[in-house]
Amino acid sequence: MKLMSIAKVVLFSSSLIGAGLYGQPAYQSFGAEMPEGGETVSLSQAIASLGENDVAKGSVKIEGKITEVCQAKGCWMVLVDGDKYARVTFKDYGFFVPTETSMQDGTIFGELSKTVLTKEQLQHYAEDAGREHAKVSDDPLEEYWLVASAVSIKTK
């Protein structure tokens, strides 16, 4: 009986720490487990270190502010750091994030590259973001793209 009570206290204390009640931020995790090791860099640092083909060598762990999320089903989001941004999609379309995670801090583990979006793709993303009648440019848009295998979002 005492052992059961001790186990309940340990489980309850663990859930409090996970919930951020002891001063540590709580996180929601999506996709694969976030790697423990390795340096976490800002999105600006990651973009500055892209190779000559505008592709990172391997996966990187990047942090930034999530400013926009697909409102249809959470299948993409935009990560911002200062004046730099990257559209984040999820590896193999294997997971999504909650649509209400905008304006939260996030850490993304994935592959960063630069891509060009067509007018049709831009219109699609505007509609997914809830801007059905948004006017988009006829010109293609270059943007950074991050295909995430793991996402960790700091809860509010």
What domains does the chain contain, in order, with CATH numbers? 28-154 (2.40.50.140)
Phi, psi for 135 (deg, rounded to 5) = -90, 125
* Dist CA 146 CA 113 (whole Å): 6
Mean pLDDT, 10 residues at a time, over the chain (156 residues)? 42 40 76 93 92 76 95 94 95 95 95 87 81 73 93 90
Under 8 Å CB-to-CB from 95, ≥6 apart: which residues?
30, 31, 151
pTM for the whole structure: 0.75
